[in-house]
Amino acid sequence: MKARVIKSCLAYLYGSGAINEIGTFCNDELSLTGKAILISDPTVWTIAGKQISENLMHAGFEKVESVFVKGAWKSEVDMIREKIRALGATVVFGIGGGVNMDVAKAAASEENINIITVPTIFATEAQTMALAVFRDGYRPNIRPILGCVVDTDIIKQAPWRFQAAGYSDFMGKTSGIADWELACSRKKEFTQNFSGIFGYELAKLQLRLLHKYAVAVKNKEEKAFDLFLQVFMIDGEINQLCKPGWNWGTEHAVARGLEDCVDVLHGEAVGISTILMTCWQGGDWKNVKKTLETVGAKVTAKQLGVSDDKIINALTDATSWVKQRPNYYTILHEKPLTDKTAQFLAEMTEVI
């Protein structure tokens, strides 16, 4: 197998009240001190940013500067880079959701300084993945995350919509795995380099656990909620172990056509796409739908706030999109969706 890089997060601080120990964590575990830039937004600043700033100052950081970002744009990264240089910062903290963390990761990586992530919601794997997604196509190489601070009190208080979306994104592995199995059974050339039996089995285990504990997670029962968060925390590494492979299936191709709407979260689009594609694959889509409903995730076009036509277009566009990707082989290569079959599929699953 060709050599490749697998990036991991070096250390986690996890549990109740974690942000009150962030300064000690930086000093004692990461040997971090000096000057810090905290990236957040007005809401996140109130929830966690201010407290983190005070804690770091108390732990002996020379200076802590706070910056609010407006979106995942390269211009925002450039603005932070200037601040890093002006301050002589040694570390950037990305606090909040995917956008704040992605901007922090990109700016810190471009300036070769350390990155700490502090998720306040769990809707994507942004907190530990050495990857940042920008709407303008900017794709910087991201350094490994030095530390990730998960304060379970803060996450539990976050609007449930975000956790449900994160859960839905995970369910995407159902159709992702099925697509991968299909590609292997057809002996596609790119599957010969597959080295991820371990990751593949772990992914199936993740899915089993998430189905089993859906009710307990929704009720925020401590052990089940910990399970959900910890599964999420290590997911970035699992995905890398399996590359290229099942961590991306047709559900993500379909979701592309839904998540460009203003008020649709990535995971929400993936959840609905997973119901559709699992059905198209002949899998147990009813079980996927049941689990998503159990955790309070969105399962219809109406709940997602998109028109029926949008769903049909996402399905047919995904068919042409996957065919342009030579390193993937999916159900849509064998059973392309037309307007007519897409309509049938969406109605059958009661997505529309």
What does the binding site for Zn ion look like in residue numbers (CB under 5 A)? 169
* Phi then psi dihedrals of residue 67, to 5 deg: -130, 135
Between 169 and 237, whose beta carbon lies closer to Zn ion?
A: 169
What's the count of helices (H) and strands (E) in the chain, helices before strands? 20, 6
Between 91 and 171, whose beta carbon lies closer to Zn ion?
A: 171
Between 110 and 169, whose beta carbon lies closer to Zn ion?
A: 169
Nearest distance, CB of residue 301 and Zn ion, angstroms: 19
Nearest distance, CB of residue 36 and Zn ion, angstroms: 30
The whole-angstrom separation of Cα 128 and Cα 9 is: 6
The whole-angstrom separation of Cα 22 and Cα 136 is: 33
Nearest distance, CB of residue 79 and Zn ion, angstroms: 27
Q: Which two tokens stand for residue 308?
A: 């029926």
* Phi then psi dihedrals of residue 192, to 5 deg: -65, -30
The whole-angstrom separation of Cα 224 and Cα 209 is: 9
Nearest distance, CB of residue 273 and Zn ion, angstroms: 10
Q: Which two tokens stand for residue 259?
A: 């998540």
Between 102 and 169, whose beta carbon lies closer to Zn ion?
A: 169
Q: Which two tokens stand for residue 343?
A: 């309509």
User: Distance from CA of residue 316 to its chain's centroid?
Assistant: 25
Nearest distance, CB of residue 232 and Zn ion, angstroms: 12
Nearest distance, CB of residue 175 and Zn ion, angstroms: 12
Amino acid making up residue 62? E
Dump the DSSP string for 227-291.
HHHHHHHTHHHHHHHT-SSTTS-HHHHHHHTTTTSTT--HHHHHHHHHHHHHHHTTS-HHHHHHH
Between 93 and 167, whose beta carbon lies closer to Zn ion?
A: 167
Nearest to 280 by CA among 340, 337, 350: 337
Nearest distance, CB of residue 310 and Zn ion, angstroms: 19
Region for 335 from its dihedrals, namely left if φ exceeds 0, alpha if ψ lies in -120 to 50, beta otherwise: beta
